[in-house]
Chain A
Amino acid sequence: MAVMTHAEALVEAIRECMDEDPNVALVWGSLMGVGGNNEHVEHIKEDFADRIFHPPISEAAIAAIATGAAMDGVRTIFPMGTASFMFRAWDQIIHEAGEAHYMSNGAVSVPAVFHVVHGLRGGGSVQHSQSPQSMLWNAPGIEIAMPSCPADAKGLMRTAIKSNNPTVFIDYQKLNKRSGEVPDGTYDIPFGVADIKRQGADITIVAASLQVVHSLEAAEVLSGEGIEAEIVDLRSLVPLDEEAILSSVGKTGRLVVVDEAPPRCSVASEVIATVAEKGMDLLKVPPVRVNRLPVHVPANVALEDFIGPNTDRIVEAAKQLCS
């Protein structure tokens, strides 16, 4: 096992896939906010110069170019930077990339990867802080991955690149510098397999991306108060590992779901609806959503903290359910 940052793990996945498959291309803005200071970035730049394309500020067209190329088997990774910018390419991702396979009755597939960094970034203000996961989840035909740690980032990115479906890879700038152990060699992490990041018998906390980190912190606090939380890291929203969620809730009978999108029609809403439909009898108490408050994101960092889901709010919600 090597220890590396989230950013390094992502870049390593891209490098490996570009090595393995000459059909993988990369649109190079500022590679996922990763910066230029690591060996892998330099390696990619040099070794794959003919498969790297520098983007103008043209999210919509590039997303559609990636989509059109994907129909002929070119697997383009398109990092769009801040998730808010992705809205420019909404039509292309949702209509063209997401619908082509269905519309062609299965004849055409779209193996493209759209990478964004979402959420509260510390002063991003209203137009640089979007969390598009639940809006995207409402559009059929798109896979959605949301890693929380370096090992998952690598394995999920490899799967995203190899997948024959369009994948939106929803990342988080605040994760980029976090380090973790990453298995040696190449490995893929299949979509639709949640990971139990912590075992616990008293309450289930379901989360993805940075909210897994917050949930793990919350679990430590809760443990000090005699509550053992089980953390279910979804890792991908599409496909969704319903079984992992239901089996954990079956064990604990209590459910908190954490997500950065505002609560209405959010990831948290969908997970809870799924449990209500398929496992209502497993719940001892009504479940709780911990989301960004249903407001825009103010520029002020203190207010940003106030509206975001955070460790304290997760602890509070969990304690309420266990009281």
Chain B
Amino acid sequence: MDKLRLLDIFRQMMLIRRFEEAVYDFHEQKLFGGHYHLYIGQEATGAAVMASLRSEDRVFSTHRNHGHAIARGVDPKNALAEILNRVDGTNGGRGGTFHLASADAGMPHTSALVGGAVPLAAGAGFAAKLQKSGGIGVSMFGDGCFEEGVVFETLNLALLWKLPVIFVCENNTPGAILKSQGGNNTSNLPEGRVIQIPQALGMECHEVDGGDAVAVDELFADCATRVRATGHPVFIEALTERWPGNYFSFPSMVTGLTQVSMAWDGSAISGEHEDWFKTHGPVLRFARDLIVNGVGTFGDIVGIDVDVTETITSAKEFALSSPLPETDSVYSHLLAGES
């Protein structure tokens, strides 16, 4: 067991959590418009997946991309600036919350169209194969993507053409309120499970508890090594319990700001979301495991939280002081070769 690696994954998870709390705060303050999506509840998956990636790998994400970008190494200050649509944002402010991406971080483009990220990642696998870069394509996508035909086409192609891609389906339907009962989108399959679709095609498939950082890390690290060696695609379904704040279409901080002390002090836990604090919330869950397994101390956990909270506080200041793009900038970069 690599203690430093695990603590680093925890640090990423904590950073994502504080980042998302900041995004929520900005939205409450009406500092950015429109719809948005938070990654709370899925931090273990994103942080553990990115821990095994290298600079030559490419990650493609969705509308729920914040955690992927942070764990991939995007500086939170540029990510927050992007969410406020400022010039120092990862996309110069023109993408916003739906589209955090950074070519420098190996995350070239983020599609907010359901299913969009899946073939793009296969494209990165295609390029890696042609260029013998040793890289792999990684698609992070929601279970809803299986409702779109292009996802089936991509799985089939990845097998036919032997593309080095890892498809990470983050299934956050467990615990969700069905759309027909007024909740937010969840996937709709008649009986079966999404994993049976790539299985039927003969793809190597794995299921993992997406709220368990260690399990995701071990599985993904192993898959990444093999995909690099064989060039064959792999599918992973990471199941996570839905964060109650994501029951409805707009996020709501129903579980309050995270108190890491809940990991060792159960007396602070009560009320409607007790179950979330005690068993599901991946940040508290991992903090608890780290302590129980002797990987980290209370002091380590609190220290990491203090650190990342500071990072986010200064990232907020940075984002707020970054200017809005000039109106004339709307004309730039329509076509390559023009300014």
Docked CA distance A295–B330 (Å):
7
Instruction: Pick from B96, B113, B334: contact of A295, CB below 8 A.
Output: B334
Question: How distant is the Cα of A307 from the Cα of B329 in the complex, in angstroms?
Answer: 11
In the complex, the 5 A-B pairs of residues with the closest C-beta atoms, listed nearest first: A123-B34, A299-B96, A123-B33, A300-B85, A56-B147
B85 / chain A contacts, CB cutoff of 8 Å? 298-301, 303
Contact of A127 among B98, B147, B148 (CB under 8 A): B98
For residue B34, which residues in chain A have a CB less than 8 angstroms away from its CB? 121-125, 128, 299, 301
- Which residue of chain B has its CB nearest to the CB of A293? B330
In the complex, what distance in Å separates the CA atom of A306 from the CA atom of B328? 9
Interface residues of B (CB under 8 A from A): 32-35, 85, 93-99, 111-115, 144-145, 147-150, 179-180, 182, 185, 187-188, 324-325, 327, 329-331, 334
Given contacts A36-B182, A58-B148, A303-B324, 4 further A-B contacts (CB under 8 A): A54-B188, A57-B114, A298-B330, A302-B324
Q: Find A126's partner among B95, B179, B185 (CB 8 Å cutoff).
A: B95
Quick one: CB contact mask for A105-143 with B, threshold 8 Å, 1 for yes? 000000000000000011111111000000000000000
Q: How far is the CB of A125 from chain B (nearest CB, A)?
A: 5
In the complex, the answer to whether A306 meets B327 with C-beta atoms within 8 Å is yes
Q: Do A300 and B179 have beta carbons less than 8 Å apart?
A: no
Q: Which of A85, A121, A294, A303 has its CB near the most chain B CB atoms (within 10 A)?
A: A303
Q: Which chain A residue shows the least CB distance to B330?
A: A295
Distance from B45 Cβ to chain A, minimum over Cβ atoms (Å): 21
CA distance A124 to B36 in the complex (A): 10
Main secondary structure of the interface of A (DSSP, over half): loop
- Range for the number of chain A residues in contact with chain B: 20 to 34
Query: Are B330 and A125 interface neighbours, CB within 8 A?
Result: no
A94 within 8 A of B: no
Contact B148 A88 (CB under 8 A): yes
Residues of the B chain whose Cβ atoms lie less than 8 Å from the Cβ of A58? 147-149
Q: How far, in whole Å, are A88 and B148 apart by their CA atoms in the complex?
A: 9
The answer to whether B98 and A300 have CB atoms under 8 Å apart is no
A3 surroundings in chain B (CB, below 8 A): none
- Tell me the smallest distance from the CB of A183 to a CB of chain B, in Å: 33
Residues of B within 8 A of A123 (CB): 32-35, 96
- Which residues of A have CB within 8 Å of B334? 294-296
Interface residues, chain A, CB within 8 Å of chain B? 36, 54, 56-58, 60-61, 84-85, 88, 121-128, 293-296, 298-303, 306-307
Contacts of B329 in A (CB 8 A): 303
What residue of chain A has the Cβ atom nearest to residue B93's Cβ?
A300
A–B complex contacts, Cβ < 8 Å, 24 sampled: A36-B182, A54-B179, A56-B144, A57-B145, A57-B148, A58-B147, A60-B148, A60-B149, A84-B113, A85-B113, A122-B34, A123-B32, A123-B96, A125-B34, A126-B94, A128-B98, A294-B334, A298-B94, A298-B325, A298-B330, A299-B85, A299-B97, A299-B99, A303-B327
Chain B residue nearest to A122 in the complex (CB):
B33
B97 partner residues in chain A, CB cutoff 8 A: 125, 299
How far is B33's CA from A295's CA once the two chains are assembled, in angstroms?
20
A58 to B188, CA, bound (A): 10
Q: Which of A61, A84, A295, A296 has the most CB of B within 10 A?
A: A295
CB within 8 Å for A127 and B112 given contacts A36-B182, A54-B188: yes
Query: In the complex, A48→B30 CA distance in Å?
Result: 39
Chain B, Cβ-Cβ closest to A303: B330
Whether the Cβ atoms of A300 and B96 lie closer than 8 Å is yes
Please give the distance in Å from A305's CB to the nearest CB on chain B.
9
Please judge, given known A-B contacts A124-B34, A127-B113, A128-B98, whether A298 and B93 are in contact too, CB under 8 Å.
yes
CA distance A283 to B180 in the complex (A): 55
B69 CB to closest chain A CB (Å) equals 15
Query: How many angstroms between the C-alpha atoms of A125 and B324 in the bound complex?
Result: 15
Report the separation of the CA atoms of residues A303 and B329 in the bound assembly, to the nearest whole angstrom.
9
Closest to B188 in A: A56
A300–B94 contact, CB under 8 A?
A: yes
Chain B residue with Cβ nearest A301: B33
A295–B331 contact, CB under 8 A? yes
Shortest distance from the beta carbon of A23 to any chain B beta carbon, whole Å: 24
